[in-house]
């Protein structure tokens, strides 16, 4: 209830900022993105090289996520800085999940490593960046939980090595109760799972290099793409956006363009004989 109230309030604020007196689905979509991904930081200055690197990094996440088994659908990809991230790819489950399979956790690790794998394949190992720090943390956290909590490591058995305790203050560690040798085996297994995910990401991107290139170009053109738009860009189809001119979807040869640059259309005035605007006029 509180989350929904926060979402509605945020949508109302966004509508008010652009001078609307009612809330549309666009406002709700933007509010949801802000709540889930953080506020946009359009004032942040990025060089063309940084934008290009971010586009390939996020495209790597998306391509891997679309091509590993049991992964949640890709909801949106953006290279607009949000929160502390220069860009991100958001995947959302189609329904509530009460349990997660071993295969899906491995797919999550592979997608998390897709950004670093794309950087290495496109720019070379000497030019990879620290932008994958949060991805590495996420992959390591998933892999460690698989080993220490979920019993997914056969050689370690179905034993809880996390030693987490619950209290009214939340979850806390009660101290390590296993040997240094066991800790070393745990760390080795965690590294093995993360390395395996990285190799999976590299293999997917190597086989689908053309899709990676097209999606990165699409992100550089549009900055933000929805799940369906990502699919269209990968397949080489033009995007059909309301603010795109029809002529922009084809090039000089008549071939459909992968990404048409959006144009801003002037707002229609009610006195021009066209359809009146949806926004209601005030009455005396």
Architecture of domain 1-37 in this structure: Orthogonal Bundle (1.10)
Q: pLDDT value at position 69?
A: 93
Q: pLDDT value at position 272?
A: 52
CA-closest candidate to residue 262, choices 213, 231, 214, 224: 224
Does residue 208 sit in helix, strand or coil? coil
284 residues of the chain, pLDDT tens digit each: 677 787 788 788 878 888 888 888 877 777 777 777 677 677 777 888 989 999 999 999 999 999 999 889 998 899 988 777 788 898 888 788 788 999 999 999 999 999 999 999 999 999 999 888 999 999 999 999 999 999 999 888 888 888 655 545 555 555 566 778 888 999 999 999 999 999 999 999 999 999 999 999 999 999 889 889 999 999 988 887 765 554 444 444 444 444 443 444 444 554 555 544 444 444 44
Distances (CA, A) of 214 to 26, 124, 218, 258, 264: 26, 19, 6, 8, 24
> Cβ neighbours of residue 280 under 8 Å, at least 6 residues apart?
21, 22
Give the Cα separation of 263 and 254 in Å (integer): 19
Q: pLDDT value at position 207?
A: 96
Q: pLDDT value at position 169?
A: 53
Does residue 75 sit in helix, strand or coil? strand
Domain ranges of the chain: 1-37, 38-234
CA-closest candidate to residue 95, choices 113, 72, 115, 126: 72
H/E segment holding residue 90: strand 88-91
Active site residues: 58
Bridge partners of residue 77, in order along the sequence: 89, 225
Q: pLDDT value at position 257?
A: 42
Q: pLDDT value at position 122?
A: 95
Architecture of domain 38-234 in this structure: Up-down Bundle (1.20)
Query: How many residues does the structure list for the chain?
Result: 284
């Amino acid at each position: 209830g509180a989350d929904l109230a926060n979402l509605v309030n945020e949508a109302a604020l966004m509508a008010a900022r652009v001078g609307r007196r009612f809330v549309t689905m666009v406002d709700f979509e933007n509010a949801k993105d802000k709540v889930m991904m953080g506020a946009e930081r359009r004032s942040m200055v990025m060089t063309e090289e940084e934008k290009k690197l971010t586009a390939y990094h996020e495209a790597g996440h998306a391509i891997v996520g679309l091509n590993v088994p049991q992964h949640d659908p890709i909801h949106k990809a953006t290279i607009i800085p949000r929160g502390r991230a220069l860009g991100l790819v958001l995947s959302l489950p189609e329904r509530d999940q009460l349990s997660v399979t071993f295969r899906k956790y491995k797919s999550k690790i592979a997608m998390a490593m897709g950004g670093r794998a794309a950087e290495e394949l496109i720019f070379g190992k000497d030019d990879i960046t620290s932008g994958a720090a949060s991805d590495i943390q996420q992959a390591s956290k998933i892999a460690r939980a698989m080993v220490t909590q979920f019993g997914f490591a056969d050689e370690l058995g179905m034993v809880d090595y996390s030693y987490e305790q619950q209290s009214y203050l939340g979850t806390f560690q009660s101290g390590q109760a296993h040997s240094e040798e066991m800790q070393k085996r745990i760390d080795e297994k965690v590294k093995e799972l993360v390395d395996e995910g990285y190799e999976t990401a590299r293999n997917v991107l190597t086989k689908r290099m053309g899709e990676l290139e097209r999606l990165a170009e699409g992100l550089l053109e549009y900055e933000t793409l929805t799940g369906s738009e990502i699919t269209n860009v990968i397949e080489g189809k033009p995007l059909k956006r309301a603010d795109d001119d029809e002529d922009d979807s084809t090039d000089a040869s008549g071939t459909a363009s992968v990404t048409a640059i959006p144009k801003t259309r002037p707002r229609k005035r009610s006195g021009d004989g066209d359809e009146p605007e949806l926004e209601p006029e005030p009455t005396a």
